[in-house]
Structure 1
Amino acid sequence: MNKTIAIIPARGGSKRIPEKNIQTLGNLPLIGHSIIYAKENKDIIDEVYVSTDNDQIKQIALQFGAKILDRPESISGDLEPTVSALKHVLENIDSDQIENVVLLQPTNPLRPENLLREAFEKFLMNNRDSLFTVSRNHQKFGKIINDKFIPFNYSYGQRSQDLEPLYFENGLLYITKKTLILNDIIISENALPFKVNHIFAQVDIDTQDDLDYAKYLYQKK
């Protein structure tokens, strides 16, 4: 049986919001939202792992029914790529039957209910080795060179609705073959971009303002 597991990387250190991953959103710690989301998709996800270097996060993750992997200090720094934590989990559990990994970031706690189901179906149907969620950006971008603004994705006077579509990686979820992660890759060159048109795609918590916005949306939705 080929398994699919969810991994939630949750470091204890955070510069902008102290103890960010356990800040509350609707009476639940941020990390709790991602664990619950994974658990609610148990027809896809066989096991839920939290990779952390923090005792408080460990306790909360256990309360919500996740399995814990102690993340070594050597891969817990600010500059360490996320793939290091995913690879560490796979190398320290029995991963022989695991085929796919779903990455859920605690800083993206709000996800459309059917997102994983629809994305996973597309992932299997297209036979890709990775998938990531994207959303369209409707802003007019440009560069400033020698104090002059150079439009990047539009011409002066062009209407916003006529812009050539540009998309951003929204961080809601990633699906990746285990073999890729063991080669230090989350998004491959042939990754399938899965388009998400939902207000939750605008939530990626890095600052207090981001958290306040997430709380506003949570109450509203």
Structure 2
Amino acid sequence: MTFVGYIPARAGSIRLKNKNFLDFFNGQSITEIALNKSNQCSTIKYTILDTDNVSFLDEMYKKNLTDYNHLRSDSLSSSEITTAQALRDCIIKAENIFKNKISNIVVLQPSSPLISLDSINIAIDKFIKNDLELVASFTRLPINLKDCFQINENEIKKFGNSEINEENILFETGGIYIISKKRLFNSENPFQVDALSGISIIPLNEYVDIDYYDQFLLAQRLYIEI
């Protein structure tokens, strides 16, 4: 059973430009941090950086942080391309390069730099012990739904429902996905969690999903405290 770590980092980002390659901590980008975690995980045999940034790919390959030195094609580098589409193409190429069949993929999103190696290992252990095809990271909802409002063009109304049990509400973080190659290639929506068994809870203090510069700055401050 061969596990690979997959870190997607295309050059074009819609909201925060080049967020995957900005200096985040001690000269490291959020992508380099994700690559390091993949390489530190004993279950992962190969680490794959999937990027269309040729200079960054060369740099990470020279640092031995990626075992995969293949540039993502332009046709798979637009914002319309899904993670599943890019990953399928990458896995086919990687198997030819590594001369090894890949069984499972650990997807680590660079935009979640606070996720710990412990949380990654816990998710992998759950995947293996329960013979699952998909595990995704979730956390407890950091807000009370009863305090939320729905805003329409001309009105505002309470969103919360008094019947909702706040303790049972989880939030999908998008930071970790562990998926079997079989599910990746045979499912129409391979990353859609459809069972409780596929949920791995991470601490709330490990959750951040960087889309905007304010989130980048917040993640920097929190990362220093880890």
Alignment of 1:193-212 (within 5 A): 193-201=199-207, 203-212=208-217
Stretch of structure 1 that moved more, 49-58 or 61-70: 61-70
The answer to whether residue 103 in structure 2 is matched with residue 99 in structure 1 is yes
The alignment's TM-score, normalised by the length of structure 2, stands at: 0.85
Query: C-alpha distance in 1, partners of 2:80/2:91?
Result: 21
Cα separation, 2, equivalents of 1:150 and 1:18? 35
Check whether the contact 1:35–1:64 (CA below 8 A) recurs between aligned residues. no
Matched with 1:213 is 218
1:30 maps to what in 2?
Answer: 30
Q: CA RMSD in A?
A: 2.2
Corresponding residue to 1:121 among 125, 129, 148? 125
Counterpart of 2:177 (choices 165, 174, 183) is: 174
Secondary structure of 1:175's aligned partner:
strand
**Secondary structure of 2:137's aligned partner:** strand
Q: CA shift at 1:125, angstroms?
A: 1.8
* Secondary structure in structure 2 of the residue aligned to 1:25: coil
More helix by share: 2
Conservation of the 8 A alpha-carbon contact between 2:137 and 2:201: yes
Cα distance in 2 for residues equivalent to 1:70 and 1:6: 16
Aligned partners of 2:209, 2:14: CA distance in 1, in Å?
Answer: 15
Following the alignment from structure 1 to structure 2, what is the Cα–Cα distance between the partners of residues 175 and 15? 25
Q: What is the number of equivalent residue pairs in this alignment?
A: 213
TM-score relative to the length of structure 1: 0.87
Q: Distance in 2 between matches of 1:18 and 1:219?
A: 23
**Contact (CA 8 Å) 2:137, 2:174: kept in 1 or not?**
yes
1:143 aligns with 2:150: yes
State whether residues 143 and 152 of structure 1, in contact with CA within 8 Å, keep that contact through their aligned partners in structure 2: no
Aligned partners of 1:36 and 1:64 also within 8 Å: no
- Structure number with higher strand proportion: 1
What is the deviation of 1:107? 1.1
Sort the Cα spacing of 1:114 and 1:75 in 2 relative to 1 into closer, same or farther, 3 A: same
Structure 1 unaligned residues grouped into runs of 5+ = none
The alpha-carbon distance between structure 1 residues 142 and 74, as it changes in their structure 2 partners (threshold 3 A), is same
User: Structure 2: which 5+ runs fail to align?
Assistant: none
